[in-house]
C-alpha cells in the first residue's frame, strides 16, 4: 500500500516535469527540421535528418550576431551594477534604525505595486531629456536603481539575520561601512547573490519592452527584438523561428542548471525568502 | 582605508542609488502619468488642462471598453488558476524524496524563459494546422480548434500559456508550506484526522495569507505579463480580443501619441485592480466570520 502511494507520487511528479518541459523539447525538435519541407501531419519528436545548419542560417538572415553582442553587453553591465546597488542598499537598510528600516520597507513594497506600464510614458521623456534614448544606457538604466526592489529586500532579509554584534564589533575596531559591507556582509550572502544574479540576468536578457520603447537605431537592437524581426521576416518559417527561440533560451537554462543547486535546493529557498 | 564620513553618512550614501534612481525612473514617471491623465498631451507640445475629457473619451471608445473587459476576464480567470496551480504543485513537489529537486527545477524553468522566445514557441504549439496541441487533442477526437484566430479561444489560449509561468508563486508557496510546524500534522494524525481534513484544517488556513499576498502581486505581474504575448502572437487581435490594458496603453501612447488618454486608461485599470483586491479581501474576511 505504502509502495503504491510512493510509486504514484513519483509517477505524478514525472508527468508534471514532462508537461513543463514539453514546450521546450518541441521547440528544439522543430528547430532542426528541414527549412521549406512541408510540415508533417503528425508530430515529429526529433527529425531524423537534423538540420543543425538552421542555427547558422538565421545569423545570415538577420544580424543575429549584433543582437547577441548587444544583449551580452547589456547583461554584462546590468548584472554587476545591480549586485552593487542592491547589496549596498540592502546592507544600509539592515543597519539603520528601526524607524528608517520600516520607512524603506514601505517604500520598497509601494515600488513593487507600481505596474510597469505606468512608467513607460515618462521614462521615455526622462531618458530623452537625459539624451539616453538610442543608447545602451536606456536599457541598462534600471540597474542603477537596483533593478527591482525585490533584490534590495532579498539582501536586506539576508543581512538582518546576521547578528548585529558582528558589525558593531567591526565598527568599534574602526572599520568603515564599506569595509563591513565587503569583508563581512557580502561573504555571508552568497546564496542571495546567486539568486539575484540569475533573476537579474533573466530580467535584462528577456527584456522586450525597453528596446521596443526606447531604441529606434537598429545598431542597438537586442535579441528579443531580433527574434521579433525574424518573425516578421518570415512568420511561417517554423524551423528558423524555433532556432531563434532556442538560441535565446539556452543561456538562461545553462545558467539556471549551473546555479540551481544553490537556488532551488531545500535550504537556499528558505535562505532567499525566509524573513527570519 | 580611513574614512572621514561618519558610519551613518556612509550608509545613507549606500542607499542613494536605489532611492534616487527609483525616484527618477519609477516614482516621478508614475506620478507624472497620473497628472497627465487630466491634460491633452502629445509628448511634443506642452500639456493643456483637459479635466475629465480623457476619461470621457475612454469610456466612449469601443476599443477601450473591449480592452478593459478582456483584461478583467483575463485576471479573474488566470489569477485563481495560477494560484491553485502553484499551490497544488508545491504540495505535490515539496517532498524530500529523490529527484524532487529536479522536478521543482522543471516547474520553475518556464518562468525564466525569455518572454519573446516563449511567445514564439506557443505560437507554434497553438498553430491550428501543424501545431502539437491540436495534434494531441486530435488523438481524443477533438476537432481542429482555431486558437489564436478566434476571439474566444484566443483569450483562452493566452490564459492557458500563462499557467506555466508560475515559478515565483510556486517558490513562495513552497516556503509557506515549509513554515508550517510539523507538530501540527503529527497531533492531527494522533487525533485520527484524514489527509483531506488535515489540509483544510491546517494547511489551507496557514497558507492563505501567502496566497492573498501572492494574488495581489500576481494581479500586477500577470497583467504586465500579457504585453509580450499580445504584442508578438496576436498584436491584440482577433477583433481586439487580446488587446489587454498594457497593449492598449502602448498603442494609445506610442501609435496615436495620445499620452493623456493612455494615462487615463492606466488610472482606470489601476482602480479596477484596487477594486479586485478590495473584493478579494471582503470575501476572505467573510470566511473568517463563518468559521
Q: At A194, which CATH number?
A: 1.10.3720.10
Burial class (CB in 10 A: 0-12, 13-18, 19+), A276: exposed
What is the rounded distance in angstroms from the CA atom of residue A105 to the CA atom of residue A30?
47
Min CA distance, B224 vs chain A (Å)? Answer: 7
Residues of B in Cβ contact (< 8 Å) with A91:
11, 14
Q: What is the pLDDT along chain B (291 residues), one digit of tens a residue?
A: 455 688 889 999 999 999 999 999 999 999 999 999 999 888 778 888 988 889 999 999 999 999 999 999 999 999 999 999 999 999 999 888 888 888 988 999 999 999 999 999 999 999 888 888 888 888 888 878 888 988 889 999 999 999 999 988 998 898 888 888 888 888 888 888 888 888 998 899 999 888 888 888 889 888 888 999 999 998 887 888 899 999 999 999 988 889 999 999 999 999 998 898 888 888 877 775 544
Nearest-angstrom CA–CA distance, A240 and A132: 33
Per-residue pLDDT of A130-166, as tens digits, reads: 999 999 999 999 999 999 999 999 899 889 888 888 8
> In which band, very low, low, confident or very high, does the pLDDT at A40 lie, cut at 50, 70 and 90?
low
Residue listed under C-alpha cell 565598527: A171
For residue A177, pLDDT beyond 70:
yes
> Mean pLDDT across chain A, nearest whole number?
87
3-state secondary structure B55-122: HHHHHHCHHHHHHHHHHHHHHHHHHHHHHHHHHHHHHHHCCCCCCHHHHHHHHHHHHHCCHHHHHHHH
**CA–CA separation, A15 and A9 (whole Å):** 10
Give B-chain residues touching A21 at CB under 8 angstroms. 106, 109
pLDDT attached to residue A113: 85
CA–CA separation, A115 vs A119, rounded Å?
Answer: 8
Chain B: residue whose CA lies nearest to A25: B121
Question: Which of B120, B132, B220 minimises the CB distance to A231?
Answer: B120
Q: Do A208 and B228 touch (CB under 8 A)?
A: yes
Determine, yes or no, domain membership for B239.
yes
Within a domain: A2:
no
The answer to whether residue A269 scores a pLDDT higher than 50 is no
Query: In this structure, is residue A9 part of a structural domain?
Result: no
- Overall number of domains in chain B: 1
Q: Is the pLDDT of residue A246 over 90?
A: yes
For chain A, the maximum distance between any two Cα atoms, rounded to a whole number of angstroms, is 75
Confidence of residue A266 (pLDDT cuts 50, 70, 90): very low
CA distances from A264 to A195, A258, B94, B109, B201 (A): 9, 11, 11, 11, 28
Distance of CA B192 to the CA centre of its chain: 40
User: What is the rounded distance in angstroms from the CA atom of residue B155 to the CA atom of residue A98?
Assistant: 47
**Cβ contact, residue pair B121, A264, below 8 Å:** no
Q: Of A29, A76, A16, give the one whose Cα is nearest residue A245.
A: A29
The whole-angstrom separation of Cα A201 and Cα A183 is 25
Do the Cβ atoms of B227 and A227 come within 8 Å?
Answer: no
pLDDT tier at A220 (50, 70, 90 boundaries)? very high
How many CB atoms sit inside 10 A of residue B57's CB? Answer: 17
State the total domains in chain A.
Answer: 1
Residue the block writes with cell 489587454: B244
Shortest Cα–Cα distance, B286 to chain A (Å): 25
How many of the other CB atoms lie within 10 Å of CB of A134?
Answer: 15
What percent of chain A has pLDDT above 70?
91
Continuous H helices in chain A: 2-31, 53-61, 64-95, 98-112, 117-129, 136-140, 149-160, 164-172, 177-179, 190-206, 209-214, 223-233, 238-263, 266-273
Helical H runs in chain B? 7-22, 28-36, 53-60, 62-93, 100-112, 115-125, 132-139, 151-162, 167-178, 182-190, 195-198, 204-225, 227-229, 245-250, 259-290
C-alpha cell at B72: 478583467
- What's the sign of the alpha-carbon dihedral B274, B280, B283, B288? negative
User: Residue B162: inside a domain, yes or no?
Assistant: yes
Range of the domain at B180: 62-290
Torsion angle of the four alpha carbons B106, B108, B112, B118, in this order, in degrees rounded to the nearest 10: 60
Q: What is the CATH number of the domain that holds B197?
A: 1.10.3720.10
Chain A residues within 8 A of B232 when measuring between CB atoms:
208, 228, 231
Asked whether residue A104 is assigned to any structural domain, the reply reads yes
Q: Exposed, middle or buried, B92 (CB in 10 Å: 0-12/13-18/19+)? A: middle
SS3 (DSSP) at B40: strand
**Residue B104 maps to a domain:** yes
**pLDDT greater than 60 at residue A274:** no
Q: How far is B22 from chain A (nearest CA, A)?
A: 6
pLDDT value, residue B144: 81
| Rounded Cα distance, B189 and B192, in Å | 5
The answer to whether B70 and B155 are in contact (CB under 8 A) is yes
Chain B residue closest in CA terms to A43? B132
The number of beta carbons lying within 10 Å of the beta carbon of residue A2 is 6
Decide if B72 is inside a domain: yes
Domain residue limits at A89: 32-37+47-273
Nearest CA-CA distance, residue B285 and chain A, Å: 22
Tell me if residue B237 falls in helix, strand or coil: coil
Q: What is the pLDDT of residue B168?
A: 87
Task: Return the residue of B nearest to A247 by Cα.
Answer: B117
Does some domain include residue A22?
A: no
The pLDDT, as a whole number, for residue A42 is 64
Amino acid at each position: 500500500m505504502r509502495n503504491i502511494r510512493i510509486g504514484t507520487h513519483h509517477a505524478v511528479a514525472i508527468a508534471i516535469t514532462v508537461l513543463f518541459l514539453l514546450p521546450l523539447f518541441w521547440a528544439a525538435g522543430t528547430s532542426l527540421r528541414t527549412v521549406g519541407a512541408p510540415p508533417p501531419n503528425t508530430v515529429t519528436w526529433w527529425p531524423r535528418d537534423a538540420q543543425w545548419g538552421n542555427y547558422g542560417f538565421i545569423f545570415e538572415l538577420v544580424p543575429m550576431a549584433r543582437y547577441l553582442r548587444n544583449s551580452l553587453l547589456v547583461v554584462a553591465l546590468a548584472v554587476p551594477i545591480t549586485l552593487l546597488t542592491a547589496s549596498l542598499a540592502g546592507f544600509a537598510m539592515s543597519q539603520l534604525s528601526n524607524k528608517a528600516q520600516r520607512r524603506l520597507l514601505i517604500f520598497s513594497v509601494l515600488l513593487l505595486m507600481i505596474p510597469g506600464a505606468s512608467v513607460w510614458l515618462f521614462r521615455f521623456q526622462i531618458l530623452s531629456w537625459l539624451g539616453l534614448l538610442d543608447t545602451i544606457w536606456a536599457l541598462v538604466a534600471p540597474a542603477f536603481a537596483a533593478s527591482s526592489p525585490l533584490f534590495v529586500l532579498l539582501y536586506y532579509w539576508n543581512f538582518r539575520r546576521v547578528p548585529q554584534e558582528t558589525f558593531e564589533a567591526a565598527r568599534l575596531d574602526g572599520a568603515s561601512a564599506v569595509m563591513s559591507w565587503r569583508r563581512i556582509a557580502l561573504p555571508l550572502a552568497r546564496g542571495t547573490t546567486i539568486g539575484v544574479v540569475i533573476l537579474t540576468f533573466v530580467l535584462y536578457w528577456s527584456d522586450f519592452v525597453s528596446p521596443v520603447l526606447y531604441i529606434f537605431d537598429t545598431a542597438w537592437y537586442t535579441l528579443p527584438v531580433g527574434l521579433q524581426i525574424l518573425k516578421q521576416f518570415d512568420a511561417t518559417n517554423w524551423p528558423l523561428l524555433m532556432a531563434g527561440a532556442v538560441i535565446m533560451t539556452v543561456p538562461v537554462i545553462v545558467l539556471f542548471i549551473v546555479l540551481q543547486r544553490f537556488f532551488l535546493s531545500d535550504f537556499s529557498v528558505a535562505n532567499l525568502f525566509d524573513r527570519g | 582605508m580611513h574614512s572621514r564620513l561618519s558610519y551613518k553618512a556612509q550608509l545613507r550614501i549606500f542607499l542613494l542609488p536605489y532611492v534616487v534612481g527609483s525616484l527618477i525612473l519609477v516614482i516621478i514617471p508614475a506620478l507624472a502619468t497620473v497628472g497627465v491623465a487630466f491634460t491633452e498631451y502629445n509628448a511634443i507640445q506642452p500639456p493643456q488642462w483637459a479635466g475629465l475629457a480623457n476619461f470621457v473619451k475612454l469610456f466612449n471608445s469601443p476599443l477601450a471598453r473591449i480592452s478593459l473587459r478582456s483584461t478583467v476576464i483575463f485576471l479573474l480567470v488566470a489569477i485563481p488558476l495560477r494560484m491553485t496551480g502553484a499551490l497544488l504543485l508545491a504540495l505535490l513537489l515539496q517532498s524530500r524524496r529523490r529527484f524532487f529537486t529536479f522536478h521543482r527545477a522543471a516547474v520553475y524553468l518556464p518562468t525564466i524563459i525569455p518572454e519573446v522566445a516563449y511567445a514564439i514557441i506557443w505560437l507554434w504549439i497553438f498553430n491550428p494546422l501543424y501545431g502539437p496541441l491540436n495534434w494531441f487533442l486530435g488523438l481524443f477526437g477533438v476537432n481542429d480548434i482555431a486558437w489564436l484566430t478566434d476571439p474566444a479561444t484566443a483569450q483562452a489560449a493566452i490564459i492557458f500559456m500563462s499557467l506555466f509561468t508560475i515559478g515565483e508563486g510556486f517558490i513562495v508557496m513552497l516556503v509557506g508550506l515549509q513554515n508550517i510546524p510539523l507538530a501540527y500534522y503529527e497531533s492531527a494524525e494522533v487525533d485520527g484526522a484524514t489527509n483531506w481534513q488535515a489540509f483544510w484544517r491546517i494547511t489551507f488556513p496557514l497558507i492563505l495569507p501567502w496566497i492573498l499576498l501572492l494574488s495581489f502581486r500576481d494581479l500586477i505581474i500577470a497583467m504586465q505579463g500579457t504585453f509580450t504575448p499580445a504584442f508578438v502572437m496576436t498584436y491584440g487581435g482577433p477583433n481586439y480580443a487580446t488587446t489587454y490594458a498594457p497593449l492598449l496603453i502602448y498603442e494609445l501612447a506610442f501609435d496615436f501619441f495620445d499620452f493623456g488618454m493612455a494615462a487615463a486608461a492606466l488610472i482606470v485599470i489601476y482602480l479596477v485592480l484596487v477594486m479586485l483586491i478590495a473584493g478579494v479581501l471582503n470575501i476572505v474576511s467573510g470566511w473568517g466570520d463563518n468559521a
